[in-house]
Amino acid sequence: MPYIKKEEREKLDHWVDNVLFHMSSIEGKDGAVNYVITRIIDDVYGNGGYAVFNRAMGVLECVKQELWDRKVRPYEDNKIRQSGDVYNEATPTERNLAWAAGLFEGEGCFYASYHEKRKDGTRIFHTLASVAQNDIGLLEQFRNVVGFGRIAIGSNQKTHYWYATRVGEAAKLLEWFRPWLSKRRIERAEELLLKESQQVIQKRGNNVHN
């Protein structure tokens, strides 16, 4: 990892900044970066044996992995949220789920959607979910992450809403988002889903009885 002590950074930053300044005027920057790295590696590790070469390979591998974790992976995840994933996977990535759960925790809710009365006068409901947001782009990214739902504009013509409209989608959100949701939001979802399951069982029982 590149996280050396502050005083050691200060000793090196002057020279690194000087190299970067001169590199800004070079057209073939990829080749220039390769050249600088090669010179440093050769000077520090070039005269060693197997163990030293192994250390050099380890340093380069760690640099590559750090670049992937800190720069490439977040960039890729952002593009997935914007445009949708190309892989038909059942579960989104953990990083994208954490992002979507954060948006839902702040702007979303679980709620009961009641249906028409049955012959006995009772009404059944399904547990649904929604997210309110003025920025429709965020809702489109959210929909791309979870892979379902629809987006509609509110009556004020400013606020947009993402809705989970099918039975089971709210339960899927709770399953995915649980590690990042507050206790009160989890308890609310569990309460609604429990009542929903009990009424379905009751409805089936009545059908069998009849």
Question: Does residue 126 surpass a pLDDT of 60?
Answer: yes
Mean pLDDT estimate for the chain: 85
Q: Residue 201: which residues within 8 A CB-CB, separation 6 or more? A: none
**Architecture category of domain 95-209 in CATH:** Roll (3.10)
Nearest to 164 by CA among 109, 88, 102: 109
pLDDT at 208: 32
Burial class (CB in 10 A: 0-12, 13-18, 19+), 198: exposed
Question: Does residue 201 surpass a pLDDT of 90?
Answer: no
Interatomic CA distance for residues 104 and 180, integer angstroms = 10
- Claim: this prediction has a pTM higher than 0.85: no
Interatomic CA distance for residues 100 and 115, integer angstroms = 28
Select the more confidently predicted residue: 91 or 194. 194
Cα–Cα distance list, 199 to 8, 170, 191, 193, 196 (Å): 66, 17, 13, 10, 5
What are 50's two structure tokens? 């197997």
pLDDT tens digits along 63-93: 888 888 788 877 876 777 677 667 655 678 8
What are 46's two structure tokens? 């070039």
Question: Does residue 203 surpass a pLDDT of 70?
Answer: no
Interatomic CA distance for residues 193 and 131, integer angstroms = 18
Interatomic CA distance for residues 130 and 165, integer angstroms = 9
Outline where DSSP puts E strands in the chain: 108-117, 123-133, 150-153, 160-164
What are 165's two structure tokens? 């409209």
State the Cα angle at 190 between 184 and 191, rounded to 5°.
90
Question: Does residue 206 surpass a pLDDT of 60?
Answer: no
